[in-house]
Amino acid sequence: MAKILAVDDSASMRGMVAFTLRSAGYEVSEAENGQLALDTAAASRFDLVLADVNMPVMDGISMVRELRARPDYKGVPILMLTTESNTDKKMEGKAAGATGWLVKPFDPEQLLATVRRVLG
């Protein structure tokens, strides 16, 4: 089953994402900021990365930029978890190499629909 990395500094959001995806049978790793996510992503290759934008230590956009620069992550879907107010952030994220976004708030069904859509 596909491996997914969930990156969010909010434990509740991360917990919801991870729990939902695990319940659907995905293998999920968690990281609470961009820097930890980069470390985790270096240790093994994920099929999908879901990343919050606003995080301490390293924000989601810097993380996407670094991750996308790694040959291993060429073409790997990276989705930003963002809110509507962040239209600029969506574009900034895209420019940094994000594949797309999932708009908060989302519920478990919306999350799964998007993940299935991306992973095919």
Partner 1 sequence: MASKTKPDATTTKSEARIGIPADCRIADVGDLHRQLREAVDAPQIVLDGAAVERVDTAALQLLVVFQREVAKRGKQMNWAGVSAPLHDAASQLGLAQTLALPAKQPA
Partner 2 sequence: MSTISVTQFHKVFFEESLEGLDAMETALLALDEGGDAELVHSIFRAAHSIKGGAATFGFPEMAAFTHEAESLLDQVREGRRAIDKPIIELMLRTVDCLRGMFERAQGGQPLADASSEELKRQLAAAVGREVPAPTAKVAAKPAASNGWSIKFRPHAGMLAGGNDPLRLLRELAALGQLVVEAQLDRVPTLDALDPSECHLGWHLTLTGAATREAIASVFEWVEDECDLSIEPLVAAAPPPAPAVETDAAPAGAGAAAGTTRSAAASSNDAGSVRVGIDKIDSLIDLVGELVITQAMLDQFREDFDPSRLSMLQEGLAQLARHTRSLQESVMGIRMLPIGSVFNRFPRLVRDLSQKLGKQVKLELVGEHTELDKTVLEKIGDPLVHLVRNAIDHGLEIPEKRRAAGKGDVGTLRLEASHRGGSIVVEIVDDGAGLNREAIINKALQKGLIKSAEGISDEEVGELIFQPGFSTAAVTTDLSGRGVGMDVVRRNVVDLGGNVAIKSRPGNGTTFTITLPLTLAIIDGLSAGVGDECYIVPLVSIVESIQLPAEAVRSVTGGGELFRFRDEYLPIVRLHQQFGCATARQKIEEGLVIVVEADGNRVGLFVDELIGQQQAVVKSLEANYRRVDGISGATILADGSVALIVDVAGIIRLQARRKAA
Binding partner of 45, given partner 1, partner 2, none, CB within 5-8 angstroms per partner class: partner 1
Site for partner 1 in 54-83 (CB under 8 A): 71-76
Binding partner of 54, given partner 2, partner 1, none, CB within 5-8 angstroms per partner class: partner 2
Q: Distance (Å, rounded) from C-alpha 4 to C-alpha 14?
A: 12
- How many residues interact with partner 1 (rule CB under 8 A)? 9
Q: Distance (Å, rounded) from C-alpha 98 to C-alpha 78?
A: 5
Q: Is 43 in the site for partner 1 (CB under 8 A)?
A: no
Site for partner 2 in 40-59 (CB under 8 A): 54-56
Q: Which of 31, 42, 46, 114 is nearest to 79 (CA)?
A: 114
For 39-76, b where at least 16 C-beta lie within 10 A, e where not — what string?
ebbeeeebbbbbbbbebeebbbbebbbbbbeeeebeeb
CB 52 within 8 A of CB 13: yes
Task: Tell me whether residue 27 or residue 40 sits nearer to partner 2 (CB atom).
Answer: 40
Residues making contact with partner 1 (CB under 8 A): 3, 45, 47, 71-76
Residues making contact with partner 2 (CB under 8 A): 9-13, 15-16, 19-20, 23-24, 54-56, 68, 74-78, 83-85, 87, 91, 94-95, 97-101, 103-109, 112, 117-118, 120
